[in-house]
Amino acid sequence: MLSGVIGTEIAPAPQLFCRMPKVQRTQVGIVGAGPAGLVLSHLLYLHGIESVVLENRARQYVEERVRAGVLEQNTVDLLTAMGVGERMKREGLVHYGIELRFNGQGHRIDFHELTGGKGITIYAQAEVLKDLNNARIAAGCQVLFEVEDVSVHKLDGPQPKILYRKDGDEYELCCDFIAGCDGFHGICRPSIPAGVLTEYDRLYPFGWLGILAEAPPSAEELIYAYHERGFALLSMRTPHISRLYVQCRPDEEIDHWNDEKIWHELRTRLASTNGWKLTEGPVLQKGVTGMRSFVVEPMQYGRLYLAGDSAHIVPPTGAKGLNLAVTDVQILARGFDEYYSEGRHDLLDRYSEICLRRVWKVQRFSWWMTSMLHRFPDENPFDHRRQLAELDYVTSSHAAARTLAENYVGLPLE
Ligand code: FAD
Ligand code: DHB
């Protein structure tokens, strides 16, 4: 439960012998300028609530990091409503289906028909972050990059604090609330006292090797391929840039994969009996991503609220990580709005409970897609046959296809 008031006067820092931090004040202190932190900060601004975002990386690094690319309808609608959807509307690629490919044959899952007209938008996470940063800065708001030694304190009291350093100076940011939007490796989750959180974790015995290639996408929609040699995915960023992935070992050394080896593996796994050809081109970027399912419960402690990857990780097969981060902060922003406009904290108290119900459903979907589409090192011939039967079922049963489609385009926000 919450206690305390907004706008508490700050006593001047006593002069000791050491240099004292400069004291600042805001309503919501946000750690991390990823999708969760920036969407939250902009939503709060639109509700007239002040925030400061602290990010330890450089702006350019954050805006160039190659990550997710699939936006659910809810994410698109929210970004549009927030006034940051103009470029996404212009440059984003709207898709109304995906292909599941196995035994060399493609099967389309028609989202439009199965979900009553819903679709997804292909628009890179990096582009979303550029649009959000531009909007935050145009609004004169504070997003501080390259801050150091961020730590959070007094989380269970009425006025939590964030300590950090910037350009050699030390700062103390006094807040009403702190939002931990600092990703899986951030400092907020580990700052919660031992014994408060329960962790649910599953590591997968494989990873994804992803490339960005200067090659027009070889298909209009995404292709998820199940092959004897492992999973492969054809995705895209623009009409000129393809994004492709192959299942690999979790500890794969990227240097062991030259471009020809990657293209060979992609050609083999995505091969189709109908003469379809993979378009190839120069590889612009490549990297390996581990696969894990992870959730902490609860997602809040005192006045600290965890959102996005700091609270949960999904394996990427369902393209849910970014979208889940956005729905968390959508709920959190409503909670803060209710608190500041009506003085009530019912929603904030129930933040974790509301988020986790949806988080677990998305975890289930991401785990299911991952289990259906990857080869497992310890599997036996029975498992292989079962996976093929599952793919056959999903692509031949209207009910099963609809289940996939409604989860892929995004479950409704309650
Ligand atoms: P993040 O995007 O991780 O943002 C957290 C921010 O906090 C970062 O900018 C970080 O620099 C900052 N930070 C961390 N520690 C501190 C600190 N101590 N002080 C200040 N700032 C700090 N999802 C998909 O759906 N599809 C994909 O293809 C896909 N690919 C991915 C590839 C990689 C390599 C990774 C890591 C993730 C990928 N994801 C993908 C997941 C998706 O990108 C994340 O779910 C999404 O970024 C979550 O957003 P977030 O804001 O919660 O966390
Ligand atoms: C992309 C990533 C995913 O995890 C996915 O399921 C589909 C597409 C992408 O990066 O484009």
SS3 for 154-214, per residue?
CCCCCCCEEEEEECCEEEEEECCEEEECCCCCCCCHHHCCCCCCEEEEEEEEEEEEEEEEC
Question: Given ligand 2 and candidates 67, 222, 233, which is best to mutate, with the most ligand atoms within 8 Å of its CB?
Answer: 233
317 alpha carbon – ligand 2 mean position (Å): 7
Q: Which pLDDT does position 13 carry in this prediction?
A: 45
Q: Which residue has the higher pLDDT, 22 or 140?
A: 22
Supply the mean pLDDT for the chain: 94
Share of the chain above pLDDT 90, in %: 93
Host H or E run for residue 403 = helix 398-408
User: pLDDT for 63-119, tens place per residue?
Assistant: 999 998 999 999 999 999 999 999 999 999 999 999 999 999 999 999 999 999 999
Closest-lying ligand to the alpha carbon of 164?
A: 1
Q: How confident is the model at residue 140 (pLDDT cuts 50, 70, 90)?
A: confident
Q: What is the pLDDT of residue 14?
A: 46
Per-residue pLDDT at 398 exceeds 60: yes
Which atom of ligand 2 is least distant from the CA of 236?
A: 11
Tell me if 242 CB under 6 Å of ligand 2.
Answer: no
Query: Is pLDDT at 237 greater than 50 in this prediction?
Result: yes
- 8 Å CB contact between 308 and 181: yes
Would the pLDDT of 286 be above 50? yes
| CA distances (Å), origin 114, targets 98, 136, 365, 406 | 12, 37, 17, 8
Mean pLDDT computed over 5-24: 57
> Listing from the earlier edge strand, what are the strands of the sheet with 22-25?
22-25, 169-174, 161-166, 148-153
Task: With a cut of 60, say whether residue 292 has pLDDT above it.
Answer: yes
Of all residues in the chain, what percent carry a pLDDT higher than 70? Answer: 96
pLDDT (mean) for 133-145: 92
| Whether pLDDT at 330 is above 80 | yes
Summarize the confidence of residues 136-151 as an average pLDDT: 94
Q: What is the pLDDT of residues 165-193, one digit of tens each?
A: 999 999 999 999 999 999 999 999 999 99
Q: Residue 335: CB partners within 8 Å, gap ≥ 6?
A: 305, 345, 347, 348, 351
Q: What pLDDT, on a 0 to 100 scale, did the predictor assign at position 12?
A: 44
Inform me whether the pLDDT recorded for 224 exceeds 80.
yes
Q: Which comes out higher in pLDDT, residue 133 or 413?
A: 133
Q: Which two tokens stand for residue 279?
A: 């378009």
- The atom number, within ligand 1, closest to the CA of 323 reads 25
pLDDT grade, residue 229 (50/70/90)? Answer: very high
Looking at the annotation, which residues are catalytic? Answer: 95, 224, 316, 320, 408
Which band of pLDDT confidence, cut at 50, 70 and 90, is reported for residue 253? very high
Give the global pTM.
0.94
Query: What pLDDT digit, counting tens, does each position of 361-396 carry?
Result: 999 999 999 999 999 999 999 999 999 999 999 999
Q: Average pLDDT for residues 16-42, to the nearest whole number?
A: 91
Rounded Cα distance, 31 and 52, in Å? 8
Count of CA atoms in the C-beta half-sphere (13 A) of 414: 11
Distance (angstroms) between ligand 1 centre and the Cα of 320 equals 12
pLDDT band at 18 (very low <50, low <70, confident <90, very high): low
Under the banding of pLDDT at 50, 70 and 90, the label for residue 9 is: very low
Q: Which of 67, 100, 123, 222 to mutate to test the pocket of ligand 2 (most atoms within 8 A of CB)?
A: 222
